[in-house]
């Protein structure tokens, strides 16, 4: 922590002690949940203690040997993958449309795409639950994918729009003057330039679905429960210590997945 607040040498306004300690405390607050979850999952005790007195991987064994936990993990990953795929395809279309086409109501479309972000999650959840009851989509993969895609779209649209905004279209002209057809230009110029943005969108969509609880709680049936729902139930119904392992795995998974676009970008800029 002290490293985070070390003032740069020769700065005019070095941070005073008061400000430094406030920053350290806020940093502690920000990191607290992550710092707690990981050690707890390696506890050797039957009940939770923090910090644990002895260490083991028994809760990870319990997680990977439990049919229920593994099934919910598999369900979550499958749904998240389909959501990421759908949201990316649809979102890239929207970003292109908004960037390249000129028509009335562009701002209305833009607001529509962002609306799921502002709408209180519980309102979306019960509203979707209501119509899904009639359409018999509760507890179906189609229902989950459709509902989560709605939530994931804003992220894809935002990220891809940002990289389209930074796209220099004289590149297309340059390719054309060098004799490339429209198709070649698209695949050799446009796609490689936009790939990092699209990949970020995909990843954001994946994580959004993987982590979503509120809608999943309402759409769940005994046959189809996502991992976060299983975690929720294991806190509210029975405190099953396996949840500590599940939590750490979720933290690790989201971190790794979100780091992928950064690493890809870095590799590109160095090579």
Of residues 99-128, those binding another protein (CB under 8 A): 99-103, 109, 112-116, 118-128
Residues 46-85 contacting another protein, CB under 8 A: 48, 50
Residues 233-252 contacting another protein, CB under 8 A: 235-236, 243-244, 246-248, 250-251
**Distance separating alpha carbons of residues 214 and 223, to the nearest angstrom:** 18
Q: Is the CB of 82 or the CB of 243 nearer to another protein?
A: 243
What DSSP element (H or E) covers 255? helix 242-270
Residue located via tokens 């979550």: 76
Residue located via tokens 């929207």: 94
Pick from 180, 195, 258, 260 the residue near another protein by CB under 8 A: 258
Q: Is the CB of 78 or the CB of 162 nearer to another protein?
A: 162
**Distance separating alpha carbons of residues 99 and 147, to the nearest angstrom:** 26
**Distance separating alpha carbons of residues 126 and 147, to the nearest angstrom:** 11
Q: Under a CB-based contact definition with an 8 Å cutoff, are residues 247 and 235 in contact?
A: no
Q: Is the CB of 93 or the CB of 192 nearer to another protein?
A: 93
Least separation in angstroms between CB 187 and another protein: 17
Pick from 63, 69, 206, 232 the residue near another protein by CB under 8 A: 232
Pick from 59, 69, 144, 218 the residue near another protein by CB under 8 A: 218
| Under rule CB under 8 A, residue 263 binds another protein | no
Residues 152-171 contacting another protein, CB under 8 A: 153, 157-159, 162, 168-170
Query: Token pair for residue 235?
Result: 């806190």
Residues 187-206 contacting another protein, CB under 8 A: none
**Distance separating alpha carbons of residues 174 and 158, to the nearest angstrom:** 27
Non-local CB neighbours of 65 within 8 Å, separated by 6+ positions:
none
């Amino acid at each position: 922590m002290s490293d985070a607040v070390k003032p740069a040498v020769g700065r005019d306004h070095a941070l005073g002690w008061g400000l430094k300690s406030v920053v350290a405390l806020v940093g502690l607050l920000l990191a607290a949940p992550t710092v707690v979850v990981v050690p707890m999952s390696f506890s050797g005790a039957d009940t939770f203690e923090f910090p644990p007195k002895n260490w083991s991987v028994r809760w990870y064994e319990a997680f990977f040997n439990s049919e229920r936990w593994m099934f919910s993990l598999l369900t979550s990953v499958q749904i998240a993958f389909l959501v990421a795929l759908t949201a990316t395809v649809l979102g890239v279309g929207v970003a292109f449309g908004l960037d390249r086409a000129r028509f009335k109501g562009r701002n209305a479309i833009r607001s529509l795409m962002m609306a799921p972000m502002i709408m209180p999650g519980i309102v979306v959840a019960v509203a979707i639950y209501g119509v899904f009851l009639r359409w018999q989509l509760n507890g179906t993969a189609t229902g989950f994918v459709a509902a989560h895609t709605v939530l994931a779209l804003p992220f894809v649209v935002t990220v891809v729009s940002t990289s389209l905004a930074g796209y220099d279209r004289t590149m297309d002209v340059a390719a054309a003057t060098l004799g490339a057809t429209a198709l070649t230009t698209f695949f050799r110029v446009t796609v490689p330039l936009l790939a990092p943005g699209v990949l970020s969108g995909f990843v954001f969509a994946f994580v959004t679905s993987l982590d979503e609880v509120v809608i999943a709680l309402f759409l769940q049936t005994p046959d189809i429960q996502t991992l976060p729902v299983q975690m929720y139930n294991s806190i509210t119904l029975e405190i099953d210590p396996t949840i500590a392992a599940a939590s750490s795995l979720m933290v690790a998974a989201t971190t790794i997945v979100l780091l992928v676009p950064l690493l890809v970008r870095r590799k590109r800029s160095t090579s």
